[in-house]
Chain A
Amino acid sequence: MPALAKYGYEGLFLVLFLEAIGIPIPGALALLIAGAACASGNMRLIIALPVSIAAMLAGDTLLYVVGRKTGWHLLGFLCRISVNPETCILRSAESFYRRGRTTLVVAKFIPGINTMAPPLAGSMNMKLWQFWQLDFVGALLYALAFGGAGFLFSDLLKMIVGGIQAFSSIVAWLIALGVAVYAAYRVWLYQKHRMYRVVPRVSVEELAERLKTDIDKEIVIADVRSHGYYDAQAQRILGSIRLEPNNLQASIKDLSKERQIYLYCT
């Protein structure tokens, strides 16, 4: 964490803010180093602690506002990597509704949940003041836990940081390997889904024209969104039906194969 050592409070704020908005940066390590810097007199605890909490609150509030503005779309986006996005959305929402207040307090300690909790609170219309109170407690606990550990075990940390520097080339190779594996995974996904590109595409103008002229072809317009149905004001194309992508066989069992199906999402 050389940036933190060089830029002190600004670096601490930046690292914790970026971690809060979901960038995979080890904020806990920054707090450990800041705690150790406070123990050695290079940083002042009375400044480092408020800076840390302010950074986390700023990042979390940003995600809260995004969740508030986008409704369920952000959760839908985050659940896209799930095996069953529909179930992911439903379970996440119900779980957060039951344990949301506790979740916000401990979220910082659980990777992944720390990024999901603030936008979920926004999506579920938690009052901003209540969100700030719970998030403040969570941020304080997180800062005290890791900053305190850094403060108390500053000598041990120096040894660990020295060890990390010694093995920096190994770390660099591991990062490169991770990037290569991810790139290979993306190529595999690309190859796997290549077959779906043969599905013909039509513009809305073409479809509107076909609706006027090809009445005998029995056109079906099918809405395949999964997260477009969680807002009471949700709209769809006039006359369309819903096809649930995660339950396609059941959705199409009564649909004649003579009909042309035009699919759309958001």
Chain B
Amino acid sequence: MLKEAGYDAFVIVGGLGAWQKAGHPLEPVPKEDLVLLPTFS
């Protein structure tokens, strides 16, 4: 869809798991982006 919209898009092989495994830096997801679902406790 991004390609169709004219963007130069790439896919990162292995995704977040591979990035983390390779020791590259991460950051917490910003609170405003989190969608916290209800829990019983």
The answer to whether A and B come from one shared complex is: yes
Which residues of chain B are within 8 angstroms of A201 by Cβ–Cβ distance? 10-13
**Number of CB contacts from chain A to chain B under 8 A:** 139
Which residues of chain B are within 8 angstroms of A127 by Cβ–Cβ distance? 40-41
Contact residues of B: prevailing secondary structure: loop
**Range class of the B interface residue count:** 35 or more
Contact residues of A: prevailing secondary structure: mixed
Which residues of chain B are within 8 angstroms of A81 by Cβ–Cβ distance? none
Flag if B15 contacts A124 (CB, 8 Å): no
Which residues of chain B are within 8 angstroms of A263 by Cβ–Cβ distance? 2, 9-12
With beta carbons under 8 angstroms apart, the residue of A125, A221, A223, A237 that contacts B39 is: A125
Flag if B8 contacts A261 (CB, 8 Å): yes
A64 and B33 CA atoms in complex are apart in Å by 27
Which residues of chain A are within 8 angstroms of B22 by Cβ–Cβ distance? 204-205, 208
Flag if B16 contacts A261 (CB, 8 Å): no
Give a binary string over B1-29; 1 marks a CB under 8 Å from any A CB, 0 the rest.
11101111111111111111010111111
**Range class of the A interface residue count:** 35 or more
- B residues in contact (CB < 8 Å) with A: 1-3, 5-20, 22, 24-29, 33-41
Nearest first, the 5 closest Cβ-Cβ pairs linking A and B are A97-B38, A238-B25, A264-B12, A93-B37, A234-B29
